[in-house]
Structure 1
Amino acid sequence: MPDFRFASSHRYALALVSALVLAAAGGIFWYSRAMANASFDDAVASPMEATAAPADDAQSGSEILLGLARDAMHDGRLVAPTGSNAYEFYLSVLQLEPENPTARDALRESFPRAAAEIERTINQKDLEEARREIDLLREFDSNNFTLALLGSKLSAARNIVMKQHEAEAARIQQSSSRNAAAL
């Protein structure tokens, strides 16, 4: 005797999935129409608004980036992770507005903490990340003596890691040659 409950629950699940797919498609369609209407409204803006837009865009872009930088500082993301840290946000502000005093002051004031963070990264042997972070600080102040010291410390750490790898390779080679001789 066939079990009709299984067939009906299977049909119910199929109907439910179909309804969810239709709802998602409808949402995508609605969103794309709303975005098309918004871009049409922007294109039809008055000529007076169009001439004021570049300055406003730079200003609003800077304000957004400054807000992101403040949030990153608050969250302790000074130089890491890549793409979402205060230093990168402040440097982006300076690309939009080279003389922005807020970004310049924040970068200058946070430099010692950023250098300490880079030193911790070197001590943790995350040398590629430390290189990226040093390069990031060099974008702001390429002649800073602290960065020269950090670069030297990074170079020394790389040499130590290289010596450790060479010693490990020699140990492995010696072990494999002993095993080959034993056979």
Structure 2
Amino acid sequence: MSSSTPTAPNRRGLLFAVLAVVLVIVAGGFWFAHASISAKPAEGHTANDGSEVGVMMDLADKAYQEKRLVAPVGSNVYEFYFSVLQLDPNNAVAQQRLRDAFKPACDVVESTINGGDLDEAQRELSLMRQYDAHNYKLALLGSVLDAQRVIERRKHEAEAARIQAQQGNQ
């Protein structure tokens, strides 16, 4: 008996599985390309058109120009565009601008963490998680924030122990 006989069906099965996965990926790519090409631009509101959505778009655009991506509370890009999407869930402009602001907003959250304002960083991170709760960058920022909280707690504990030791020596 040849030892290659049992592996031939295994190789054939593996080849068919890989081929099936490749076909699914290619078909998905064609579907996505077709959907992107055939999608009609949404008849949406624009900034300054007088509608609620237009007003929110205008506020969001000004916040973006002024680099108010996730702060201050109630007057930032993410909150304004979220408001737009509540009024017009299919607003492509708001969706695209949220995507465009994502990386710079992550940088702002990271800077806030590094600056030691951990409560504000938590608020900003929570706001961004409303946009994409499962993003790896936000998960990393959450881990960094948690680590900073541990470091801060340990500093406080060390300071409390030092104060207790001083009071015990008196």
Please confirm whether the aligned pair reaches a TM-score higher than 0.5, indicating the same fold.
Answer: yes
Q: For residues 35-70 of structure 1, give each alpha carbon's deviation from its aligned partner in whole angstroms, at most 9, with x where no partner exists.
A: xxxxxxxxxxxxxxxxxxxxxxxx811110010001
Higher fraction of helix = 1
Q: Which amino acid aligns with 2:105?
A: A
Q: For residues 60-92 of structure 1, give each alpha carbon's deviation from its aligned partner in whole angstroms, at most 9, with x where no partner exists.
A: 111100100011111111100001111100011
- Supply the RMSD in Å over aligned alpha carbons: 0.9
Q: Which has the larger radius of gyration?
A: 1
Q: Which amino acid aligns with 1:153?
A: V
- Where in structure 2 are the equivalents of 1:1-183 lying within 5 Å? 60-179=51-170
Report the Cα offset of residue 151 of structure 1. Answer: 0.3
Q: Which amino acid aligns with 1:77?
A: R
Structure 1 residue ranges (4+ consecutive) displaced by more than 6 angstroms after TM superposition: none
How many Å separate the matches in 2 of 1:90 and 1:152? 26
Paired residues in the alignment total 121
Report the Cα offset of residue 143 of structure 1. Answer: 1.2
Partner of 1:19 in structure 2? none
- What is the TM-score of this pair, normalised by structure 2? 0.70
- What is the TM-score of this pair, normalised by structure 1? 0.65
Equivalent pairs: percent with the same residue?
A: 50
Q: Which amino acid aligns with 1:159?
A: V
Q: Secondary structure at the match of 2:55?
A: helix
How many Å separate the matches in 2 of 1:62 and 1:178? 66
Q: Which amino acid aligns with 2:72?
A: P
